[in-house]
Each structure stands twice: as C-alpha cells, then as structure tokens.
Structure 1
Amino acid sequence: MKNILPLLVFILVFGSCAAQNTNTSANDSRPKLVVGIVVDQMRYDYLTRFESKFGNGGFKRMMNEGFNCKNNHFNYVPTYTGPGHASVFTGTTPKYHGIISNNWYDKEIKKVVYCAGDDSVESVGTQSAAGMMSPHRMLTTSFADENRLFTQMSGKTIGVAQKDRGAILPAGHTADAAYWFHGADEGVWVTSSFYMETLPNWVKKFNKSDAAESYFKDWVTLYDIATYEESGADENDFEGGFRGKETATFPYELDKLKDQNGGFDIIKYSAYGNSLTTDFAIAAIEGEDLGEDEITDVLTVSYSSTDYVGHNFGVNSKEVEDTYLRLDKDLERLFDFLDKRVGNGEYTVFLTSDHGAVNVPSYLQSVKIPAGYLDYNDRKAKFTAFLEATYGTKDIVENVSNNQIFFNKAKLKELGLNIHEIEQALVDEQISYPNIAKVYTATTMNSTNYSTGIEVLLQNGFNQKRSGDVIVVDDIAHIAYSRTGSTHGSGLNYDTHVPLLFMGKGIKKGHTFEKTVIPDIAPTMSALLGISFPNGSTGNVLGFVFD
C-alpha cells in the first residue's frame, strides 16, 4: 500500500498539470481578437490595379505577411450589401440565412421590408428613426455568435460601420453592440435598444468630440493627381459628382458643399468616411478593452465609403483610386494600433468585400464593349398590357422587385388559374423582352439541383419562404441606373470576384488560385477558434491558410 500511494499522488499531480497545460495550449492557439473587415464594393482587381501605390502597412502587409485567396467569389445572386455581409459572417447564402436583398417584398405582411429594420426597438443616440434596427431578419448564427456561445458570453462582439446593415448583420444576434453613423444634421454614432438602453461613455465622448466635423475639409488627392495613371481622366461624362459643383473633378470643398449634399452625409460619400470609421473602430477597441485577455473577442468593421464613392463616380474614376489609397493608410493605422494595443501576433484579421461592381456601362459603350441601360418603365408597361390582355387583370401579380415577380395567390385561386401554368406563361412572356437573358420559375429553383452556371448562383440566393415566383436575369453589363456611376447585383465576375486576405495569429504566408467562395470564411474562422460552425453554414474550411 505504501508503494502505491506515491504513484497515485504522482498520477494526480501530473494529470492535473497536464490538463492545465492542455487548456493553456488551447487558449494560446487562439487569437485574443479577431477583426473581420468588409470593404464595401471592392472588386478583386483593385488589389492589383492600385498595388504599386499602396504602402507596406495596409493591403500589402496583408498580402506579404498573410494569405491571399486570389480566386475568391460570391456563389449566389444577388450581390448586394445586406446579403453580402450576412453571408461573410454566417458561412452560408441567402437560401438559408434569409437576407435575400437589402430590401424585399414580404409575402406574409404584403409590404417591402428592410433587411435590418425593426419597428419593435428604439433608437439609441438619436431622436430619429435611424436606430430602429436589429438582426432579427437574419435566420442563422454568425461565427461571432458561436464564439459568444463557446465562451459563455465572455468573448465580446462589437460591430462598426457607417451603414447600419454593415454593422448589425456581421455582429450577429448576440453582439454586445453594433454602431453605425447617422449623418444628416447630427453626425453621430448610434445604436438601438436591441443592444442597450444608453450609449457607453466612450461613444458619448466620441460623439461630443470634433471627430466628424474635422472631415469637413477639402478632399484632394493623396498624391499628385497626374500620377493616378491607373484611372481614367478626372473630367469625363461617366461620373455623378456633388450638387453645387459643376464638374465631378478634384478638389471637393466638403465644407462648402455639405449643405446641398446631406450635411454630415457628404463625409460618407468621400474617402474621409473610411477615416472616420477607423477613428471609431480604434475608439471601440480602447473603450471595450477588446483583445485584453485570453478570451477571444470579435470586432467587425465595414468600410462603406468605398461603396458610396463607387456608386457616385464609377469603377474607373480617380475618386475611387484615391479612396482606396487613403483606405490603405487607414488600414495601416488600424494594424499599427492593434500591434501596440493587442500585440503583433496576438490577433487575426481577414479582409473581403460584400460585392464588386460593373464598370459604368456608358463608358464600356464608348470603348465598344457590349453594355447598356434597362428601361424598367417600358418593361412594366409591356408586362401590364400582357397581363390585362391575357387574364383580364394585372392583379394576379402582387409585386415586382429585385428582378422577381410575386404572385397574388388569392387572386389566382379566385380566377381558378393554375400557378404552375402561370409561372411558365410569365417565363415565356418575360424572355421575349429586350435585355432579359434568362427567366426561371420558383418551381424550377425548388425542384432542380444545378451544379454549374448562373443557375447555381440563383438557387443559392433563392429562399423559398421569401423569394418570388419568377426570377429574371438581365443581360451582361446592363443595369437600371443613371448613366453615371457604378452599381452591382449580378452573378457575373465583376460583381462576384472580390478579395479574401487573412493575416495574423494562426495564418501562414502564401496564396492560392484555387477557387474559394464567401461562405468558406466563417467556418474557416470557426475552425481557427476551435468553436462550433455557424448553425446554417454551408462553406468549407480553408485549411491551407492555417500555419
């Protein structure tokens, strides 16, 4: 017995130490902070087009120190902001997470709803309705939610963006907070009662500072505009510009133009909106003590000004180029701060986009590339005439939006019409219209398992409860938009091919041309953290990015 006791003591002590070492090792393998960055409307080729002018601390640092997935795509339609942010962080597509557009027609309540709108909550930080938002329409968890569950709600999640949907959807359902910028005549960062009843002191302090007002200054190019050879002429016929300024050319005197362009909103439409977002993100890291202990926190940051500038000035503009060169400096500033605050090698960052953008069709036409503009009013008139001539009423269609046709099921039943026959009749009619490339029915989306082509993307974006009865696909590079500026939404490469960069703890240096898709990001981050995948995740773990 005396010989056995020392052995038992040894086993108990060694086993306890081994268990502690195992737990410590598991904790040591996880980053203290994950920063998920979404650059709104960033095409992949912006990385290569502007690379020679980037510094070494922003985009290039991620490419040189981290892992670059060079053939990364969205695998669904439509490529809009709401679905994009939801898909990045949930690891699935609108088919499952339910964010089928920024706005969509709700078949149950018979009205258009906003992806983040929520009448059941109150604004916090403003008296306006700008804060009446929440993630309640997103049906699945994000990897940030899963991290919260894994850490017994000890790991924090904070979402930051100028756009409400860009802050709310990535942060998920269990976030400590999501903050977005309310411009107009206030220029403050706000949230909703979904998260809290009053703003934290650090946010109040930030709002009382002159941080926003400081960007009412001249927007001039970061470098000599003559060196911006990667973009078209500064003055051309393909850009929108600002009210109160005759030409869409540098410089832009934001302080003089603000009253005619939405007050503080003009900051969002300039490169400085991203700088303001970086200011606030840094304040959030400090104010919330993110990355201060061994329990992983998550910060989501969406840079929205790239989208606003792209819509206004177009893919080929010097304004877009300057916005990315300035964003590069903001990323460097953010990474430098993380190095000092959290520790170089103690955090992990990924960067991607919510969609790309088409080059301005009028510009494409000028260089003899097929492109054009859609006349939805003409299309609507033809369709209405067809319905009335064929069925005696236009009321069998309840709504047409987001390239989808929604039936009035009650009217079909009243008239004794077969829904499947009507589906096919509308397909045959719509495909005869100019600039419509393909038309599909809900029945086809639900019953056919596609493996290639645009049909796969349509199917991944089709939610049986929320999507329409007939889906229309427009011709390549044809948009319903003004003849100036860029937009997005299609399943074509200019909208689907976006960056995917990883850097930091657990990430190796390298690159791949292997195709990756947006839903791969969330399960990859979940695998890095050793947590459950988001509950609706359909993506794959990109194991080749791990060190």
Structure 2
Amino acid sequence: MVRRFSAWLARAALAAALGALPACASAEPAAAPAPSAPPRLVVAIAVDQFSADLFAQYRQRFTGGLARLTQGAVFPSAFQSHAATETCPGHSTILTGDHPARTGIVANSWFDLGVARADKRIYCAEDETDPASTARDPVVSAGHLRVPTLGEWLKRADPRSRNVAVSAKDRAVMMMGGHQIDEAWWFLGGRFVTLRGRAEPRAVASANAALAKVIAAGAPALPVPAWCAPRDRAVTAGRVTVGQGRFALPAGNADALRVSPRMDAATLDLATRLVADMGLGRGPAPDLLSVSLSATDYIGHAMGNEGLEMCIQMARLDAALGSFFARLDAAGIDYAVVLTADHGGFDMPERLDQQALPAAARVDPAAMPGALGKALGAELGLAARGGPLVYGDGAGGDFYLSREIPAERRDAALAALAALAARQPQVAAVFTAAQLSAMPMPHGEPQDWTLAERARAGFDPRRSGDVVVLLRRGVVPIPMAVPGYVATHGSPWDYDRRVPLLFWRKGLAGFEQPAPVETVDIAPSLAALLGLKLPAGTFDGRCLDLDGGAGDTCR
C-alpha cells in the first residue's frame, strides 16, 4: 500500500509543481464519528503573510483545502500579539506556545555589538559561532530558540515520535521544528536542502528530481480564475509595475519558481513524499509534520497583496491544500490539521491610494537608522569611527547605540536618540529598553493591548534594541519600491497582527468563534488533543476546546 501510494504521489508531484492541479478535491470527506483517541499525525501549517483580511476577502471563493478547514474549529481573529510581526518571531510562537519575549526570537535579525564579525547583524536561525556563518549566508541552526517546540515535547514523551519540518524558508523550519528535528528541509538554489552533515533520503531525492525537471523545462503562465479578472490592472510604484503577473516560469529560473504558487505546490509535494516514505502517522507514537508555505509572503513582498498575482495565489493555495489533504485521506491516516500564519501584511501604498486609503505612505528616509545616527552625531558632537552610531534593520523596530559612544555620554545619547525618533512625523511611539524591561508581560484580549504592551510581548533584554520604534498605522517601512520588494509587514497594527486560525479533524464538530485568540494558544491546544501532560506554566497561551459539541478536547 505504501509503495503504491508513493508511486501515485510521484506521478502527481510533477503535475502539481507545473501548476496542473486538479480542479479541487472535495472540501470535506465522508462524515465520521467523533474521535476518542489522539490523532496519529498532527499537520501544522503556517501560510506566510496570510492575514485575517486575506482570509476574509477570499473565503467565499475557497472550494478545496481551505474550504475543508472552515468546516472545523474556525477562529477568524487570532493574533500574533507582539509588535515585531516578522517571519521568525511569528513562526516561533506557533508550536512553542510562547511569545517572542520568551522564545528569544525578537526579529528576523538583530544586532549583537559584542560579536567579532564586522557586520554585527545576527540572523535568527544561524549559528554565528561557526566561522563559516554570516547573517546573509548562515550556517542554519535553531540555537537561538530558547524554548521547546511541540514536536520536541512529543519526542520527550516518547522518542519514537517523529518531528518533521519543511518550508521554502530555513527560519520557518527551525522555528516550527526546534532543536530535535528528524527531517528538516528548505529551498535553496533550486532544490531542498537540510542541516549540514545530514543525508538526503529517498523522498527528498525524488522531490528534488521532479523539481529539477520543472525548473529546467519552464512552464506557461498559470490560468486566471474568472473571479480574479477585476484585479487584472497594472499599478506602478517607482520603476516597478505589478498587478498583471501570471507566473510564467522561464526555463532554468529557480527564483521565478520560488516567487510563485509553484513553491507551495513543491513544498506540499515534499511533505507528502516524506509522509509516505517515513510512514508518518503509522508509527507507535504520534508524529508531527510542520509545513510552512512561503509563496504568499514572497508574492506579497514582490507584487503586493491586492493585485491579480495574490488572487491567483489564493486560488492555487486552496487547490494545493485540497490535493494534499486528499492524499492523506487516501493513505487512511488519522490526522489533525491546524493552519495559521506567522503575520499578516499590508499592500503597496501606490495601490492603496487608489483604493480609498490615501493616508498610506512610504516611510521617510529620515526615519531610517543611518539618518537618525547622523542626526544624533550632529546633535551631540559624536563621530562614528568603526561603524554607524545607530544600528538597525530598517525604519521601525530595534535600534542599537554604538559601543563607541563613551559610557559617560551613553545616557544622554539614548535620550537624544529616543527624542529624535519621536519627533519623526511617521513615528507612533518610542520605548527605551529600560521602559520595556520594567513592564509586566501583557495579558487579556490581544486586540486591546496598548502599543507598549505589543512591544513588550516581543522584547528580550538580551537581544532587543536600546530603543524600540513603532511607525504609525499605514506607513510602509520601505522608502522606495524596488524589484522584488514593493510591500511588506512588521508593524504593530492589526493588518499585520491578526491572522486566521483553523483546526480540523475528521469527526470533530465544527464551529466558528469570532472572539480573539492568540497563536500562542495553538501549542497548548494541540498538546491537550495529543494527551500530552505538561506542567502548568509551560506555555504563554491557553488551551482552546476544539470540539464544538459536548466533548472538551482540553480535558
């Protein structure tokens, strides 16, 4: 049976990656009695940059995998509660059950001014102690993650459990899988790669072979659903024009595949091959498969999230998930699914200006760290020698004062930097490390948190900046659109914080709960579903009862 299933997957893989997915598998399999035992496989899916707004906007169009999940436990207002709504912090909350203040993952990159390397930037998923590692070409590691993931808790309870993670992004794999991952694969240079020193199993070799054929041959443009036609309109930002892309794949262009719906299809193909070859969901202990789908994020950055490209992506994502679930059904696996996002996103201001939001704007370069550092130097008579006076990854977020500033002038420099940032018209709030350190961790409804509380949830005194700067609503922290980067995320506002949260398992009674929850609630909810008994205080989040009937999955 497993061999026949693997052969079917291999035949389906190339067609899926080429974009020739079937119309859609049925949204919901045949009715089943309520399950009485833990699932044998948990599939945790993160759709990168899948905001609650996108989910609501396209929900009526879903007929495949996303439609199936809406028949389960639906929480349309889940929150990545912290202010630094980036890929690494967001992924770190999903299967740890902890806010970034506790996971230690405060951003995609932070700065450690004490390291010997000339570039003080530290990538969230690197081992910077390895001489071969740089922030831009990292030796990939989960070493910065300070808490266990659900897959690691499963392995502690029973070492026979398998913890598998796949994505186009290494940081998604590391943050969802953690330190003890049986298989960890991400996309790099046209193929899926893994941690240094690990071998390529048969499932990955076959997935890479299928992927290589697709990339070498190229593929025509993807079809446009009829309901996407109103979005087929060119919009120009600087020298970049988007809004009419159809994702034709030039022969030999691996990067064009990455920034297209085909990337999600390839990731799900790899996941299904690993399920079959490893026998996930068929072993003596429950298994966990983490799948982070990155195409929505890549497309959102390169083309924005309100154009034809995102409309096509939503249709393809729904179809690809439907095909993936149909394959799991065909294998007869007892599985449960959770789907959420690491953060939301915000469209390019040039299109938002045409869509009743003229207040949306690109950030003024004067708010960038380099500009603020120069202003600080002029105000205090400080000169930069071995590097900038202010380090930062862009407008907003964590700003770090240079260690070249004499100790006796550091307090004055900190106060001056905070004041300079606060005077910027596009800045909503500025907090010092001392202010955030003195605050308790926030509790209660996440949509009601103050900006200070949102910043506190992602603040780690060992890694966060000397000053944390939050931009105003509608300000896109990209001064100028460039090819591949016209829009982004990372703000403390709800278009970036609010994401969908969907749970599904065959036989569980579905329901919809519009009240807000948090992504840190996922891990404790799944732990209860799996029957894991963990000490009180293990998670920042709470258990959600996922059975809409008389049962209670939290007991």
CA–CA separation in structure 1 for the residues paired with 2:299 and 2:170: 18
1:80 maps to: 86
CA–CA separation in structure 1 for the residues paired with 2:242 and 2:419: 45
Task: Report if the CA contact (8 A) 2:376-2:417 is conserved.
Answer: no
Task: Report if the CA contact (8 A) 1:93-1:460 is conserved.
Answer: yes
Task: Report if the CA contact (8 A) 2:372-2:390 is conserved.
Answer: no
SS at match of 1:300: strand
Q: 1:437 to 1:120 in 2, by over 3 A?
A: closer
1:93 maps to: 99
2:254 maps to: 264
* CA-to-aligned-CA distance 1:146-182 (integer Å, 9 cap, x gap): 011111x100011010111122210111110110111
1:188 maps to: 191
Matched, 1:113 2:115: no
SS at match of 1:437: strand
2:452 maps to: 455
How far did residue 207 of structure 1 move? 2.1
How far did residue 326 of structure 1 move? 0.7
> Which residue identity does 2:122 align to in structure 1?
V
Q: 1:376 to 1:342 in 2, by over 3 A?
A: farther
1:3 maps to: none
1:401 maps to: 393
Structure richer in helix, relative to its length: 1
Task: Report if the CA contact (8 A) 2:232-2:243 is conserved.
Answer: no
> Which residue identity does 2:493 align to in structure 1?
L
2:201 maps to: 200
Residue of structure 2 aligned with 1:254, choices 231, 249, 252? 249
Give the TM-score normalised by the residue count of structure 2. Answer: 0.82
1:138 maps to: 145
How far did residue 303 of structure 1 move? 0.6
SS at match of 1:167: helix
Task: Report if the CA contact (8 A) 1:30-1:505 is conserved.
Answer: no
* Runs of at least 4 residues off by over 6 Å: 120-123
1:9 maps to: none
CA–CA separation in structure 1 for the residues paired with 2:337 and 2:96: 17
Between stretches 518-527 and 101-110, larger displacement belongs to: 101-110
Matched, 1:472 2:469: yes
CA–CA separation in structure 2 for the residues paired with 1:122 and 1:507: 50
* CA-to-aligned-CA distance 1:241-293 (integer Å, 9 cap, x gap): 7xxxx87524443125x5xxxx2121011111111111111111112110113
Residue of structure 1 aligned with 2:429, choices 422, 433, 438? 438
Give the TM-score normalised by the residue count of structure 1. Answer: 0.83
CA–CA separation in structure 2 for the residues paired with 1:383 and 1:140: 35
Q: 1:441 to 1:506 in 2, by over 3 A?
A: farther
Task: Report if the CA contact (8 A) 1:29-1:506 is conserved.
Answer: no
How far did residue 441 of structure 1 move? 0.6
Residue of structure 2 aligned with 1:310, choices 300, 320, 327? 300
CA–CA separation in structure 1 for the residues paired with 2:500 and 2:245: 28
CA–CA separation in structure 1 for the residues paired with 2:373 and 2:56: 44
* CA-to-aligned-CA distance 1:25-81 (integer Å, 9 cap, x gap): xx96111000000001101122232223221x31111112x1000221111021111
Q: How does 1:309-458 map to 2 (within 5 A)?
A: 309-343=299-333, 346-366=334-354, 367-376=356-365, 379=368, 380-381=370-371, 383-394=373-384, 397=389, 399-401=391-393, 403-409=397-403, 411-413=405-407, 416-417=408-409, 419=411, 421-449=412-440, 451=442, 452-458=449-455
Q: Which runs of 5+ in 2 are unaligned?
A: 1-34, 443-448
Q: 1:303 to 1:122 in 2, by over 3 A?
A: farther
Matched, 1:299 2:299: no
* CA-to-aligned-CA distance 1:309-352 (integer Å, 9 cap, x gap): 11111111111011111111111111111112143xx1110000
SS at match of 2:235: coil
Q: 1:155 to 1:50 in 2, by over 3 A?
A: same
Task: Report if the CA contact (8 A) 1:524-1:543 is conserved.
Answer: yes
Between stretches 431-440 and 537-546, larger displacement belongs to: 537-546
CA–CA separation in structure 1 for the residues paired with 2:336 and 2:390: 47
Q: Which runs of 5+ in 1 are unaligned?
A: 1-26, 124-128
Task: Report if the CA contact (8 A) 1:239-1:312 is conserved.
Answer: no
How far did residue 394 of structure 1 move? 4.6
* CA-to-aligned-CA distance 1:124-145 (integer Å, 9 cap, x gap): xxxxx97831211111101111
CA–CA separation in structure 1 for the residues paired with 2:317 and 2:238: 21
Task: Report if the CA contact (8 A) 2:338-2:502 is conserved.
Answer: yes
1:228 maps to: 228
SS at match of 1:116: coil
Q: 1:93 to 1:430 in 2, by over 3 A?
A: same
How many residues of Structure 1 are paired with residues of Structure 2 in the alignment?
491
Q: How does 1:6-21 map to 2 (within 5 A)?
A: none
Between stretches 33-42 and 358-367, larger displacement belongs to: 358-367
How far did residue 410 of structure 1 move? 6.2
How far did residue 206 of structure 1 move? 2.6
SS at match of 1:417: helix
Matched, 1:499 2:492: no
Matched, 1:40 2:28: no
> Which residue identity does 2:455 align to in structure 1?
L
Task: Report if the CA contact (8 A) 1:274-1:327 is conserved.
Answer: yes
* Root-mean-square deviation over aligned CA pairs: 2.7
SS at match of 2:461: coil
